[in-house]
């Protein structure tokens, strides 16, 4: 099939590369010329395991190409995926300006039937707005060209995006028109070969499903985070509680880790946007407002713990920080807990040396104007002369570090662990004061 993917970010790049991998003829569009130039020169703008080889292989095979020309993109694919960003607007609702711009571009240049697929995370009712935007452009052109609009939310996880796309738990298709549904079935059949996992529903249900999924996951995290605060107070161990409840097959183990708060480009904005959609429709989502509040508190928790140890004023204090990305295996720092923690430490007067295996370039871009944070190339170097080590992202390489090296470099052997990486008794035996989340 000839496919266009509009937006070549995390979702668009992965979608385009994976669809090309199974033999489709894919053209990816982005308005960011620098991004397109970089990819065409053999680079990859994001860190996602395996993506560089996948893109290179399919470009070399002539199945995957990149452009910044909307006219070329519009005429290329019978199927047009919209995978542009939907950042939060000031009131928390999803800002649809990129989605609508993409839809208008398709309509401006199309000459034959198109299936327009919303892959961006968009609020209920967006497919109607896309349809209206396209219809008005076609009317301006004086053309009557048929098109269908389909909702196909994406569930991939950064860090495991290719596997998630290639072997999805399910593919949600929101569509009404048989020819669009049929095209989606054909397109996705290589990814559901061992059993059918295509769920077809009406457009609005598909749009809501994506928000419901992310909100449920965020709820589980916030629930555990709130319980972790209680666990600390009453002398319980949140890790034991996690295993205790996770073993119930109705609950399961996933997304039950207490920590220093969820971040990333999806959970925070999607929870906000769903609360907003509900409010616009006269429904109060109390649970989700609490989920958000609990997460905001949790992101401040590590700084509170630092202040409890070192005092409210941190002038003259220096901290080592391990982990900047919002989760392991990505360089994405959007809404990362590290940003809240860095802001809190700097505001109290501290200085920081941070280490992250892949997000340092992104952090250098974010903190280009900030001289009180520096970056190290190796994790141990960050600890040199620091008052404590603060762990924010649970990268694998932090699981079993050179503890002697850490202790020798720190001014005092203190580890404040926002991800419960270690067994408290073991680490105390190594001579550390160890502060974690929700454990006695």
Ligand X SMILES: NC(=O)c1ccc[n+]([C@@H]2O[C@H](COP(=O)([O-])OP(=O)(O)OC[C@H]3O[C@@H](n4cnc5c(N)ncnc54)[C@H](O)[C@@H]3O)[C@@H](O)[C@H]2O)c1
Catalogue the active-site residues: 266
Q: How far apart are CA 258 and CA 298, in angstroms?
A: 9
Q: How far is the CB of 204 from ligand X (least distance, A)?
A: 17
Site for ligand X in 71-100 (CB under 6 A): 83-86, 98
Q: What's the rounded Cα separation, in Å, for the pair 274 and 271?
A: 5
Contact window for ligand X (CB under 6 A) among 2-10, 309-317, 366-374, 384-392: 2-10
Q: How far is the CB of 18 from ligand X (least distance, A)?
A: 13
Cβ of residue 352: shortest distance to ligand X, in angstroms?
26
Q: For residues 159 and 379, which CB has a smaller minimum distance to ligand X in the complex?
A: 159
Pairwise CA distance, residues 249 & 252, whole Å: 5
Alpha-carbon distance of 164 to 91, in angstroms, equals 32
CA distance 53 to 190: 20
- Looking at the Cβ atoms of 32 and 361, the one nearer to ligand X is 32
Rounded-to-integer distance, Cα 82 and Cα 91, Å = 23
- Closer CB to ligand X, 310 or 326, in the complex: 326
Each residue 106-125 as x (binds ligand X by CB under 6 A) or -, in order, gives: --------------xx----
**10 CB-contact burial (10 Å; exposed 0-12 / middle 13-18 / buried 19+):** buried
* Helix (H) or strand (E) run with residue 76 in it: helix 70-76
Site stretch for ligand X (CB under 6 A), options 26-34, 308-316, 343-351, 402-410: 26-34
Residue count of the chain, please give it: 440
CB-based contact 175:204 (threshold 8 Å): no
127-186 residues in contact with ligand X (CB under 6 A) are 154, 156, 158
Q: Least CB distance from residue 186 to ligand X, whole Å?
A: 23
Tokens of residue 90, six digits:
């000031």
Contact pattern for ligand X over residues 249 through 278, marking x by CB under 6 A: ----------------xx------------
Three-state secondary-structure class, residue 211: helix
Does 8 bind ligand X (CB under 6 A)? Our answer is yes
Rule CB under 6 A: which residues touch ligand X? 6-12, 29-32, 35, 83-86, 98, 101-102, 120-121, 154, 156, 158, 265-266
């Amino acid at each position: 099939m000839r496919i266009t993917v509009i937006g070549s970010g995390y979702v668009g790049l992965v979608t385009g590369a994976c669809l090309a991998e199974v033999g489709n003829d894919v053209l990816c569009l982005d308005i960011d010329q620098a991004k397109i130039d970089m990819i065409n020169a053999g680079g990859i703008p994001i860190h996602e395991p395996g993506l560089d080889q996948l893109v290179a292989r399919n470009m070399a095979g002539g199945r995957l190409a990149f452009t910044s020309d909307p006219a070329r993109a519009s005429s290329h694919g019978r199927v047009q995926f919209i995978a542009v960003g939907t950042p939060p607007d000031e009131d928390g609702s999803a800002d649809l300006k990129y989605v609508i711009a993409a839809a208008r571009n398709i309509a401006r240049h199309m000459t034959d039937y198109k299936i327009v697929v919303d892959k961006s995370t968009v609020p209920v009712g967006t497919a109607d707005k896309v349809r209206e935007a396209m219809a008005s452009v076609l009317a301006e052109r004086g053309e009557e060209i048929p098109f269908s609009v389909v909702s196909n939310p994406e569930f991939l996880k950064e860090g495991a995006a290719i596997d998630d796309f290639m072997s999805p738990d399910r593919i949600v298709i929101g569509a009404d028109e048989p020819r669009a549904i049929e095209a989606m079935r054909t397109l996705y059949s290589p990814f559901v070969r061992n059993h059918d996992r295509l769920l077809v529903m009406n457009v609005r249900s598909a749009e809501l499903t994506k928000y419901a999924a992310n909100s449920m996951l965020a709820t589980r995290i916030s629930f555990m985070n709130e319980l972790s605060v209680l666990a600390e107070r009453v002398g319980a161990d949140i890790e034991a509680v996690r295993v205790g409840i996770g073993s119930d097959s109705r609950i399961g183990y996933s997304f039950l880790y207490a920590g220093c708060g969820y971040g990333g480009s999806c959970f925070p904005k999607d929870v906000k946007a769903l609360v907003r959609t509900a409010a616009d429709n006269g429904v109060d989502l109390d649970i989700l407002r609490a989920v958000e509040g609990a997460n905001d508190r949790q992101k401040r928790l590590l700084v509170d713990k630092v202040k409890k140890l070192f005092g409210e004023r941190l002038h003259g204090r220096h901290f080592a920080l391990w982990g900047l990305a919002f989760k392991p295996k990505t360089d994405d720092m959007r809404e990362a807990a590290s940003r809240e923690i860095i802001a809190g430490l700097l505001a109290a007067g501290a200085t920081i040396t941070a280490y992250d295996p892949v997000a340092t370039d992104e952090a250098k871009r974010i903190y280009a104007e900030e001289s009180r944070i520096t970056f190290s190339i190796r994790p141990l170097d960050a600890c040199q002369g620091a008052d404590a080590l603060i762990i924010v992202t649970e990268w694998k390489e932090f699981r079993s570090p050179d503890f002697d090296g850490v202790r020798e470099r720190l001014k005092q052997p203190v580890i404040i662990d926002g991800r419960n990486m270690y067994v408290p008794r073991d680490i105390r035996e190594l001579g550390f004061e160890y502060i974690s989340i929700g454990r006695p």
